[in-house]
Structure 1
Amino acid sequence: LLELRKLNSVSPVIKVLRQIREIYRLIRLLARLDVDVIQTWMYQSDLIGGVVGTLLRKKIVWGIYSSNLEREYYKRSTYWAIRLCGSLSRYLPHRIVACTRAGSLAHIDIGYPKDRITHIPIAVDTNSFKKCASKRFSIRQSCGVGEHTKVVGMVARWDPQKDHKTMVEGFSLVCDERLDVELWLAGGYGMDDSNRELLELIESSGVTSRIRLFGAIEDIVSFYSGIDIFALLSNGEGMPNVLLEAVSCELPCVASSVGDIPNVVGEYCQLLKHNNDLKLSQALIKLIELDKGEAVNLTRLGRKYVIDNYSIESVSKRYTDLY
């Protein structure tokens, strides 16, 4: 399937022929492995896996995630894949796994059969996602940031579903109140200095010197360990992994009240019902000034909650039961 992603620079006819070739190779591979269940994840893979599984007469399990399916937030090809999956969802998959309840409802609205959808949440490797004092020291030292500085961090790709504009503008209001703050932005797909639109947004904030771009980073636990508050501003979500990872790393959090976020981590997170720079700045300042003992108690309870409900062990058992 990875070969299907390498076809952007060739003609449409050659691209289609190569895709057919790769699908044929996939059919031969799965036939040779003699699998019992084909599990796919997200729309293009659901379509391919659904067709291949039907040809091989295998059990098919689709995976769905998003809760915001509006046209404006997707590339044209992805949007039409979503709609086609909605039409075929009564015929191809035997079961459909939704990792969020909000996502289940959104997909039912476009034709997915309710009786085939099973809710299994995403999992977090809680043994890996935990705060680390040595990693905190290392990343802060490399950035020249002392312990007195309060660092707000956001991990999200550059995408219409993510609201970096409100994040940057809200942070600039925090800077009007405090001198001891920084904003760290990380993520793939345009979260570096090659993104002119992002750079213009940061420059217009007036606090360029207090914002750092990390781009895609391999050691995300170092990033979580280095910051003091995690923020996630979004126009739409299912249940973002990064938010559960941040709670697992015992970080105070603020996030948009979208998708399954209120139901899943609302008790351990400051929620913004509407993305608004003033409301965001107020929430961030509240967390910055939170009593240390109260903050420790809240974040420890949050980590325990993630371990009890979203650890790999607890979620994998639910997949085993499904299969």
Structure 2
Amino acid sequence: MKIVHIISGLRVGGAEALLLNLVAESRAAGIEHVVICLSDMDTMAERFRAAGAEVRLLGMRPGAPNPLLLLRLTKWIVEARPDIVQTWMYHADIFGGAAALLARLVFRLRGPRHRLALVWGVHRTEVPTAKVGVLLKALARLCAMASNRMPDSVICCANAAFRTHADYGYERSKMRVIHNGFDVHTFVPDATARAALLGSLGLPSHATLIGIVGRANPAKDYDNFLRAAALLRPRVADCHFVMVGRDVDANNEPLGRTIDELGLTGACHLLGPRNDLRAIMPAFDILCLSSRTEGLPTVVGEAMACGVPCVVTDVGDTGQLVGDTGLVVPPRNPVELSNALEKMATLSIEQRKSLGKRARERIVESFSIAICWQNYRDMYAALLRAKGVTKA
């Protein structure tokens, strides 16, 4: 089976991480992957190549689509002769979907006809509003209008994403949920990680490390996290907040001002974007997700795979992911979030370790990348059989 993936960019993000894991997981099965990035954002390109994928950059710029680039993308699809074209998120769904339809026409004219299946990917829970972005809202509307004709299937990363997009007008009969999978071989418990991170931050061994991982974006609601941290700190001695993500660093002046205003200077450690999360995540005593919207958050699954108990907001399918291995609170409520963090922080070390052990078991048994890939593969195979094509 050969799959062409079309994605807006290859910067570090949840959908990009899932795609990378799927490529790596399926390599042993002989699946061929071509990853086409619509833009020139190629931060993760070498990691995809190392995983065995061919990577191409289309070089689109923000603004009006370039028809010449649409033709180039069509040409690349025709050259690849894929069995599946899998697009990732709204931009790629529309632009990549149009190119896939043109490629089908080329195959039909050349004969004998090469049959390919087109699959869209939905990787956010809430349908974008104009406040999020006028272009993104327009693309989502186009996707809803075209979903009954353009794709053969629409994959949603969470039940919550399915519901909101079906209600928005997506063709319900073509939609199905495949939860994200997590790399349980890379993200593992590490008894040495905590001491290493404490040492690098100059903190004592009795400090409680509460981690949060995510880019500086309103959806991640760092304001909620910091206000909860300010409420928590007087109640839990020596708790420290390790913050990791793009633009979560000393150059983010609004974030720095909020930290100062809340009296958290010295308690917050801003590490910025990191490519060594596998070493940092197991060091946390607790992982916090303070988001106001999510699908199925990658960072929570990775933390659980590392044996770290989580305190999360009830957004998307996050509560379903965590189950009874952590604590779930309403979004946009720093009081509830601080109370849950206090409850988790004041458990004994053995109690937290027990929760962490159960969290890893839950990921391995129900949310591993192996299970995720098998679900994708079964779905691809079913689509191809419906077209009269037999593939492994």
Task: State if a TM-score over 0.5 links the two structures.
Answer: yes
Please tell me the residue identity of whatever aligns with 2:99: V
Match of 1:32 in 2: 79
Aligned residue for 1:172? 230
Q: For 1:158, what is the secondary structure of its paired residue?
A: coil
Contact 1:136–1:222 (Cα < 8 Å) also in 2: no
Amino acid of the residue matched to residue 327 of structure 2?
Q
Whether the aligned pair in 2 keeps the contact of 1:71 and 1:79 (CA below 8 Å) is: yes
CA distance in 2, matches of 1:31, 1:13: 23
Amino acid at match of 1:134: T
Matches of 1:313 and 1:124 in 2, distance apart? 8
Residue 295 of structure 1 deviates from its aligned partner by 2.1
1:221 aligns with 278
How far the C-alpha of 1:318 sits from its partner, in A, is: 0.9
Tell whether 2:122 aligns with 1:87: no
1:183-216, Cα deviation, whole Å (9 max, x unpaired): 011111x212222211111111112111011111
Work out whether 1:249 is the aligned partner of 2:306.
Answer: yes
8 A Cα contact 2:123 2:161, kept in partner:
yes
Match of 1:238 in 2: 295
SS of alignment partner, residue 63 of structure 1: strand
In structure 2, the CA distance between the partners of 1:232 and 1:72, relative to structure 1 (3 Å rule), is farther
Report if aligned partners of 2:282, 2:303 keep a CA contact under 8 Å in 1: no
Find the aligned partners of 1:3 and 1:229 in 2 and give their Cα distance: 37
Mapped pair 1:272 → 2:329? yes
* 2:349 counterpart residue number: 292
Greater Cα offset, 174-183 or 163-172:
174-183
Q: Find the counterpart in structure 2 of residue 44 from structure 1.
A: 91
The answer for the alignment partner of 1:208 in structure 2 is 265
Deviates further, 105-114 or 137-146: 137-146
Q: Does 1:77 align with 2:135?
A: yes
User: 1:25-82 CA deviation, whole Å, 9 max, x = no partner?
Assistant: 2211111111121001100011112101111123200000211225166222222211
SS in structure 1 opposite 2:332?
coil
| 2:168 aligned counterpart, secondary structure | coil
CA distance in 2: counterparts of 1:22 and 1:147, whole angstroms: 55
Say whether the 8 Å CA contact 2:312–2:328 is kept in structure 1. Answer: yes
Gaps of 5+ in 2: 1-35, 42-59, 105-115, 381-392
Is the 1:86–1:110 contact (alpha carbons within 8 Å) kept by the matching residues of 2? yes
CA contact under 8 A between 2:206 and 2:238: conserved in structure 1? Answer: yes
What secondary structure does 1:152 align onto?
A: strand
Once the two structures are superposed, residues 105-149 of structure 1 have per-residue CA deviations (whole angstroms, 9 ceiling, x without a partner) of 000011111110121110100011112233333222111123210
Q: CA RMSD in A?
A: 2.0
Equivalent residue, structure 2, for 1:132: 190
Query: Comparing 296-305 with 134-143, which one deviates more in the overlay?
Result: 134-143
Structure richer in helix, relative to its length: 1
In structure 1, the partner of 2:213 is 155
Q: Name which of 20, 32, 40 aligns with 2:67.
A: 20
* Matching of residue 4 in structure 1 with residue 39 in structure 2: yes
TM-superposed CA distance for 1:321, in Å, is 0.7
Q: C-alpha distance in 2, partners of 1:181/1:36? A: 52
Matched letter for residue 258 of structure 2 = L
Question: What is the Cα deviation at residue 294 of structure 1?
Answer: 2.5
Structure 1 unaligned blocks of 5 or more:
7-11
**Larger RCO: Structure 1 or Structure 2 (Cα < 8 Å, ≥ 6 residues apart)?**
1
The alignment partner of 1:127 has SS state of coil
| In structure 2, distance between residues paired with 1:206 and 1:15 | 42
Question: 8 Å contact 1:137–1:226 — kept in the other structure?
Answer: yes
Q: 2:378 corresponds to which residue?
A: 321
How many Å separate the matches in 1 of 2:61 and 2:240?
Answer: 49
| CA–CA distance in structure 2, aligned partners of residues 304 and 237 of structure 1 | 23
Is 1:61–2:119 an aligned residue pair? Answer: yes
Secondary structure at the residue paired with 2:234?
Answer: helix
Match of 1:283 in 2: 340
Moved more, 195-204 or 269-278: 269-278
Deviations 1:272-308 (A, max 9, x none): 1243222222111111111333222221111111011
Q: What's the TM-score, normalizing by structure 1?
A: 0.92
Which residue of structure 2 aligns with residue 9 of structure 1?
none
Distance (whole Å) between structure 1 residues aligned to residue 257 and residue 95 of structure 2: 39
d(CA) in 2 for partners of 1:195, 1:81: 30
**Letter of the structure 1 residue corresponding to residue 177 of structure 2:** H
Structure 1 residue corresponding to 2:256, chosen from 199, 207, 210: 199
Residue 315 of structure 2: SS of its match in structure 1?
Answer: coil
d(CA) in 2 for partners of 1:4, 1:307: 34
